Amino acid sequence: MAGREGRKSSKNRPTTNPAPPCTLKLLMIGNIHTGKSSLVRNYCSKDSETDYNTSEIETHSIGLLDCMDKTLDINGQEVTLEIWDTAGTETYDSITANYYRGADGVCLTYSIIDNKSFDLLNVWMSRVHENTRLHTPVMLLGTKSDLEEGREVEKHRAQSYANEQEDIRYFFEVSIKNKDTIDQAMFEFSKFLIRNHSHEDQTSQVKTNTNQGCCH
């Protein structure tokens, strides 16, 4: 009852308008087989009952990129994530490079059971720097965290790497076997990107008064 009354009376108070809906373009990159496609599908799938144990499925993304959407409510603002899943093989670099442009944020993956995917993070960071606007925020994701017995990359090593890199703003270990880990990572990063945008808007005063919300 008390809660209801509280809500009722707050209706009468002057409220600030929620920020307009906006879209964030996110890019999923990282070495081959790190679990990018599984992660995007898992996160964006509307069916929570889907069986994500896809060990029998050996797929490799090819040059044509996949894009999936997910809508979040962030402090009352409707935020649509447009997540572009890229291929991890070098064959398609020239194609995927085009998709880096205009990214609001980058999700960079390595697999905790694959040292090589971690050792190549510098190469991926160089691609980010070459192909995106200056200081595009990056979230580092250590994937397959359910496979602890096969771990090759210690968490503190990845954390140190993330701390050293100016543009890596977040680091999480995630698993498609535990959707909460992915939900939390994406939510925190999205919240950061929204704040980042409004800060940029205030400082540059370039994006005011557009009809497209805050993001484009």
Ligand X SMILES: Nc1nc2c(ncn2[C@@H]2O[C@H](COP(=O)(O)OP(=O)(O)OP(=O)(O)O)[C@@H](O)[C@H]2O)c(=O)[nH]1
Applying CB under 5 A, the residues found at the interface with Mg ion are 36-37, 61
Which tokens is 176 given?
A: 């498609």
* Closest CB to Mg ion among residues 37, 132: 37
CA triple 200-181-41, angle to 5 deg: 85
Q: What is the nearest approach in angstroms of ligand X to the Cβ of residue 55?
A: 5
Question: Which of the choices ligand X, Mg ion, none does residue 35 contact, using the CB cut-off of 5 to 8 A by kind?
Answer: ligand X
Which residue from 22, 27, 87, 214 is in contact with ligand X, where contact means CB under 6 A?
Answer: 87
How many Cα neighbours within 13 Å face the side chain of 117? 26
Told to check if 38 binds ligand X by CB under 6 A, we report yes
Stretch of 28-36, 74-82, 164-172, 189-197 contacting ligand X, by CB under 6 A = 28-36
How many Cα neighbours within 13 Å face the side chain of 172? 19
Question: Which of the choices ligand X, Mg ion, none does residue 195 contact, using the CB cut-off of 5 to 8 A by kind?
Answer: none
Q: What is the nearest approach in angstroms of ligand X to the Cβ of residue 63?
A: 10
Q: What is the nearest approach in angstroms of ligand X to the Cβ of residue 142?
A: 10
* Closest CB to Mg ion among residues 36, 169: 36
The residue ranges of DSSP E strands in the chain, in sequence order, are 22-30, 66-74, 77-85, 105-111, 138-143, 168-173
Told to check if 54 binds ligand X by CB under 6 A, we report yes
Query: Are the C-beta atoms of 182 and 39 separated by less than 8 Å?
Result: yes
Q: Which of 148, 150, 153, 137 is nearest to 31 (CA)?
A: 153
Which residue from 24, 25, 27, 61 is in contact with ligand X, where contact means CB under 6 A?
Answer: 61
Query: Are the C-beta atoms of 48 and 179 separated by less than 8 Å?
Result: yes
* Closest CB to Mg ion among residues 70, 169: 70
Q: How far is CA 17 from the centre of its chain?
A: 27
Residues that bind ligand X (CB under 6 A): 32-38, 54-55, 57, 59-61, 87-88, 143-144, 146-147, 175-177
